[in-house]
Amino acid sequence: MDNPQDTPKRRKDQRPTLTFKGDEFGPEFRALINKAAERAGMNQAQFVAETLRREAQRIIKGTPENTPESNPTLPAIPTERLDAQDRRISELADQIRRLVELQTERQKATLWARIRAAFGAQKSGDVVAATPAV
């Protein structure tokens, strides 16, 4: 029969744990971790583990602190492609400008046609003389 003194105590929870002690881990720090974990949609353990893993990898890789891994730099676009896009944009802008001019001309023509019709002119060449009011 085993003597209770010979059997070591076993924890019920078998997950690995880390314990950090220091003045840096005060109540303000704990509140900060709680709030950040909540906003990230994680529990405290998930948030701390993910943050420490990401920062440890950044330090080991030598990635500068102001270049987060989550925001990689944009790839360079060849200048020929940019020039072609600029040309195409200019062409489209010219087409839009011409369409607006045509639409404006048609609106003006329609306005003048309505004015002429209101004063009884039949053709665009007819001149309508204004008669003074008596």
Parse the chain into domains and list their residue ranges: 17-70, 77-119
Q: What is the pLDDT of residue 43?
A: 92
Q: How many CA atoms lie within 13 A of 123 on its CB side?
A: 2
Instruction: Tell me how many degrees the CA angle 63-66-71 measures, rounded to the nearest 5.
Output: 80
pLDDT (tens digit, 0 to 9) for every residue of the chain, 134 residues total? 555 566 667 778 788 888 888 998 888 989 999 999 999 999 999 999 999 998 888 888 887 776 555 555 556 666 777 788 889 999 999 999 999 998 888 888 888 888 888 887 655 555 545 555 54
The Cα–Cα gap between 22 and 109 comes to: 83
The Cα–Cα gap between 109 and 122 comes to: 14
Q: What is the pLDDT of residue 119?
A: 85
Give the Å distances, CA to CA, from 87 to 58, 92, 99.
42, 9, 19
Tokens of 119: 């004063």
Q: What is the pLDDT of residue 9?
A: 73
Q: What is the pLDDT of residue 48?
A: 92
Q: What is the pLDDT of residue 134?
A: 46
